[in-house]
A and B are shown apart, each in its own frame.
Chain A
């Protein structure tokens, strides 16, 4: 004989099993599953046709750009003392770039290449301190780029990795595919997936209502099922895609660095750590969006409204910015674009340097709790409402 609480838990799981059964028979869920399964592999197949530019070519382009800077500095250095100082630094940079080209070529000394690279970064930062005097805007190396390069070189140096490997290429594809998925596309997928979580019950009202199960238990069960559905197919799709890309390049070392933005600085983390951050972030964003879908279902009782309003909320900070309002309080909405948070792009875009991964995750967690609390409060309020002029019909 089961106790009261055991009975409650048993019923919860039985309801969850039924919900899962419905999900498995729902064509929409299968479309989403197929999309997630094939998205990564198709992306990798298409984009792996274009191979990343080799390091030597990158350095040659950098050296040529540096020559162009010289010409501008040379014209001004006799008249303006700051330009003369910049010119001096630039001479050293130019020489170090040449050395780097030698070390990745015939010199074959990656340690020296890194040392030179780190030195170049220091010099470029000094040039920034001097206000890049005499350098035309389009030739200035942005400070973010310098910091990123510095973090990358330090990581390679600390972990004793080769400076050129096909694993850099796989990293490149990983970040690109996640850049494409994260944000708007992922938001649309989750909103479509969750747009009828409560609403479908309205078309089966006489079957579904009246179960001796609390509303919140039903909500948790529904969110749990959708969450696992999305995350499971997302991970399986990514694994299939990764197997393809690592086999193709014969490079699947997950210790190679990827840059992330943290504490107003760029740090390099291993590919494995990056993917862990990324998928944890996507999982939290999924959870938030699913609870938001439940809330929108409750408020608007319309599946299309769920998608449109969800998208509307997401672009709200952009609209505010376009209208000239900084509206910092709206920034957390954008945190669901985990890739932009990790890369530091969001911090630059919104002009808010405090936006980094852990900060964003904390905000997403708090918002999820707030949305959950709102659902709970609305349910309680509906329950305790006293009819006045009209009788009250329960929607869910």
Chain B
């Protein structure tokens, strides 16, 4: 459905995206993870052609590329981007904003009411945006993109400013959208939340994807224990060669190739560190994030 090939975005002394390539298909939610200012928004801008890269190609549905304005319109009919809450029109109501997006992409506003009801916005959606809190604005931005109802959605910082209840509400809505066959990109700093609905998480570093984590496929499990650097140094040479020590904090021992007896031995051995919590399971997005972005 979407294919990016050798995308490079370079400013004078800064490489933002460096020969980046990947493919994505409908019915997928792809998490995009990277610290601030490392190219997530730039990547979204390239996908939506708001920024022409120095090099590379973006292809939709196997042959549609940004070659003419007419083709761009054909692509934009299938693609909507998540608006920034600072860009909303203060004098318009939430419904006005939703209707704008519904009209521009769906050509109809019939579904708008259902969306704001599902997102529990009835109490304020008909008031002017200038009266909204940050969380209300963020929910409105999500409601707008939901009203656009395009097959491809690019959502940058979608969970910003939302409380736990609203994060959960929007996460559920995202899962529903995925079931409807949409391709959704979500750039978020709520890493554990991504594990709930994302099929894949892309880790962007130095302008390229350094790791691609598939959350649906069976992933390797680890015994995970927090260790100080001192504690780790003491036992480092006794640990299996393929162990990980992430962000000078978390020690992870893979158990895939261990028999039950060896696994038990390791658990018993590590349970000496009573004050630390020992868990068994795959590495989640927060752990990978630390691995790639907090390594010293």
Residues of A within 8 A of B (CB): 2, 7, 10-11, 14-15, 18, 21-22, 25, 203-215, 379-380, 383, 385-394
B104 at the interface (CB under 8 A from A): yes
Number of interface residues of B (CB under 8 A): 39
Q: A15-B104, A206-B87, A213-B104 are in contact. Are A391 and B50 (CB under 8 A)?
A: no
B107 touches A2 (CB 8 A): yes
B89 at the interface (CB under 8 A from A): yes
Q: Separation in Å of the B131 CB from the closest CB of chain A? A: 15
Since A25-B92, A387-B52 are in contact, a sample of 7 more A-B pairs with Cβ atoms closer than 8 Å, ordered by chain A residue number, is: A14-B103, A22-B89, A207-B100, A210-B48, A210-B81, A383-B69, A394-B51
A391 touches B53 (CB 8 A): yes
Chain B residue, CB-CB nearest to A216: B69
Residues of A within 8 A of B97 (CB): 207
B295 at the interface (CB under 8 A from A): no
Q: Separation in Å of the A31 CB from the closest CB of chain B? A: 15
B103 touches A393 (CB 8 A): no
B100 touches A18 (CB 8 A): yes
* Stretch among B72-80, B185-193, B195-203 lining the A interface: B72-80
Complex partner residue of B103 from A18, A25, A215, A386, CB under 8 angstroms: A18
Q: Separation in Å of the A380 CB from the closest CB of chain B? A: 8
Q: Using a Cβ cutoff of 8 Å, how many contacts connect chains A and B?
A: 93
Chain A residue, CB-CB nearest to B97: A207
A11 touches B107 (CB 8 A): yes
B76 touches A210 (CB 8 A): yes
Alpha-carbon distance between A386 and B76 when the two chains are bound, in angstroms: 20
A210 touches B50 (CB 8 A): yes
B91 touches A11 (CB 8 A): no
A213 touches B107 (CB 8 A): no
Q: Separation in Å of the A149 CB from the closest CB of chain B? A: 56
Residues of B within 8 A of A213 (CB): 73, 104
Q: A14-B104, A18-B100, A394-B49 are in contact. Are A214 and B69 (CB under 8 A)?
A: yes
Residues of A within 8 A of B53 (CB): 387, 391
Alpha-carbon distance between A206 and B10 when the two chains are bound, in angstroms: 22
Complex partner residue of B52 from A203, A208, A380, A391, CB under 8 angstroms: A391
B105 at the interface (CB under 8 A from A): yes
Counting chain A CB atoms within 10 Å of each CB, the highest count among B11, B50, B84, B96 belongs to B50
